[in-house]
Structure 1
Amino acid sequence: MRPTDTAQTASGQHCDTLAVVTGTSRGLGAALAHQLLGPAACVIAIARQESPALAAQARGTGARLHQLTGDLSDPAQLQRLCDEMIAALPARAERMLLINNAGTVAPIVAAEALQAEAIHLASQAMQLNIVAPMALTAAFLQASTGRSQDRCVLNISSGAGRNPMAGWATYCTTKAALDMYTRVLKQEQAALGVQGARVVALAPGVVDTGMQGEIRAADPAAFPALGRFQALHADGQLSAPEHVARRILAYLARADFGQTEIDDIRNYD
């Protein structure tokens, strides 16, 4: 599908903050995009489908919104989305952000069951959870060089990448890979001095999103911790996406963002 612009296109314009956010059709990604939209910002939203709510907000506020649609788990579409993102970047911005938020928890199965259909889902998850952030980050860093003195990459990770959980072989593995990728990226960017970007892999805590619904619908035989997640929902222990998004954006604004490359938003309660 072709990209859709609302108000002014991000490309060729100057703005205070340019923010690229993935997974913006729902959940945390949607909350982040809504809160980033403002008269001094340009938002490039990447998702499988456009968000009418984001478009309506942009029209109402005069914000600059560029919605790119496609499947990040498909290699050909990922390349197209990288190209479209580069084309949509403003000529100059005071601050440029890339938030790699899109991800999937599927398949939820025991490691010994990862074959046939399950391994196909696992391959798609690896493409979405780790290959897509790597490709988008490479495109973003190359294209943003010289356009801003302050560039930040935030990879939305998970405690699952730091603590194993039965049934989540694919999810835990991809999030652990995302953490290590972030560590390597930080080392490389730090070597560039003031020209380098600041990078963090951040666990957002347990957020009340569609992913949590998928987790609660899992087969208890494949996911022994199912009861814990059902109880978190029943007891109102899940954080609202809007609340977590506010905390993440405040975290991004910290002067020390990037000093701790593997972090957890719950460290800042």
Structure 2
Amino acid sequence: MDLNKKTIFILTGASKGIGKTMAIECCRLFKPKSLAILFARSASGLEETKKEILALNNDITVKVFSLDLGEISAKEYHETLDDALTGVEVNEFERAFIVHNVGSVGDVTKSAKELSDIDNWKKYFHLNVFGVCALNAEFMKRFEDIPRLVVNITSKVGIEPFPSMAEYGSGKAAREMYFRVLALEEKDVVVLNYSPGPVDTDMTIILQNESMSEELREGFRSSREQKTILTTQLTTAKCLAVIKEFKFKSGDHVDFYD
């Protein structure tokens, strides 16, 4: 798959971590007059991402939107994309490409049997599942007349249980199944569930410091000390290589270590 296309590119969680690196490295590849639409909560983080993108490729347009993705509604996504696409002729683009990167690790201080607060579950699923599905539905409607590429940043934890990660694993499992069904139903859309592996981000720092599992805490601590933990640059490069090689079946789960 050739990523050097005139692209409408949408990415959530673009202010830091994997999302920031993914935004920069993807935009480096796009043709002139491409459009990047980036979402995150941190306005300053988004502006820094935009600055780094334009330093590498100033022939594209970058629009950033500071939104609380844990509270956002389908209507807000609709209105925000209306704003982002004002004056844009969608059919002049060669591809629409979305990366669903937004995510949180959840409460890792508790075991599964202790997670009884329904409001907390709702908040977790709103950010990690419901909002993702709403944005993706909007994406599918807006760009139905051009080739579409959908990447969901998933996790091994969504297909294999890990202690202290009941919220995170449940959210990733639900989200991945949604995208697997999407791939089954939409034969003309390419869908990739990409699992980035253990990466040096704020999320793994939380796990290292707060997980109720001593095994997980020590695993991440050892990985950092021995410098075997992955960087955002390394896992992003692998993700883009997987897309370019296009040996996966639409809807597949591909892990960094596969």
Give the TM-score, by structure 2 length.
0.85
Q: How does 1:1-269 map to 2 (within 5 A)?
A: 16-38=6-28, 40=32, 41-50=34-43, 51-60=46-55, 61-76=58-73, 79-89=75-85, 90=88, 91=90, 92-108=92-108, 109-116=110-117, 119-146=118-145, 148=146, 150-190=147-187, 196-220=188-212, 224-259=215-250, 261-267=252-258
Q: In 2, distance between residues paired with 1:229 and 1:132?
A: 29
Kindly report the root-mean-square deviation, in angstroms, between the aligned alpha carbons of the 2 structures: 2.1
1:260 Cα offset (Å): 5.3
Q: Compared with structure 1, are the counterparts of its residues 223 and 168 closer, same or farther at alpha carbon in structure 2 (3 Å cutoff)? A: farther
Q: What count of residue pairs does the alignment treat as equivalent?
A: 242
Deviation string 1:39-97 (CA, Å, 9 cap, x unpaired) is 52321111002323223235542431010111111143x53134313542442311211
For 2:257 and 2:19, locate their aligned partners in 1 and report how far apart those are by CA, in whole Å: 18
8 Å CA contact 2:7–2:96 kept in 1: the answer is yes
2:106 maps to amino acid: A
Contact 1:178–1:201 under 8 Å retained in 2: no
Q: 1:82 to 1:262 in 2, by over 3 A?
A: farther
Alpha-carbon distance in structure 2 between the residues aligned to 1:132 and 1:70: 12
Q: CA deviation at 1:206?
A: 0.8
For residues 139-159 of structure 1, what are the alpha-carbon distances to aligned partners after superposition, in whole Å with 9 as ceiling and x for unaligned?
00111011x2x2111110000
In 2, Cα distance between the equivalents of 1:166 and 1:141?
A: 35
Aligned-partner Cα distance in 1 for 2:203–2:37:
23
Q: Is the 8 A contact 1:33 1:54 kept in 2?
A: yes
1:253 and 1:79 map into 2 onto residues whose CA distance is 34
- Equivalent-residue separation in structure 2 for 1:189 and 1:160 (angstroms): 26
- TM-score when normalising by structure 1: 0.82
Structure 2: stretches of 5+ with no match in the other structure = none
* Identity across matched positions, percent: 24
- Distance in 2, matches of 1:248 and 1:169, equals 26
For the residue of structure 1 that corresponds to 2:245, the secondary structure is: coil
